[in-house]
Amino acid sequence: MSETRFVMVYAYDIVADRDRDRIAGLLEDVAVRVQRSVFEIRQTREEADRLIARLTPYLAPGDKLRVYALGATGLDHSRVFGGPPLPEPADYWLL
């Protein structure tokens, strides 16, 4: 049985340009940017933990990183107006 994949929402407010660019670059490699500092991706808890471990070294005092997990119930109540749709469940990505 496969592990549960959640829609993970990453939102940040990073003071230093260089650190903000690094965090944005790491997220752009794997997630969909839905606003300037907000990304969405469908991940397992373990995948999210690994990504968070890659992001947190670039956080300085005063910076903020929020990571929200949306399960099936939350997704049923979510709405999107404009921009890319919420990530769909899939075992692969077409690039």
Measure the CA–CA gap between 53 and 11, rounded to whole angstroms. Answer: 15
Q: How much is the pTM?
A: 0.84
Residue 81 reports pLDDT greater than 90: no
Mean pLDDT for all residues in the chain: 88
Q: How many CB atoms lie within 10 A of CB 7?
A: 20
Stretch 80-89: mean pLDDT:
74
Residues 32 and 81: beta-carbon distance below 8 Å: no
Residues 20 and 11: beta-carbon distance below 8 Å: no
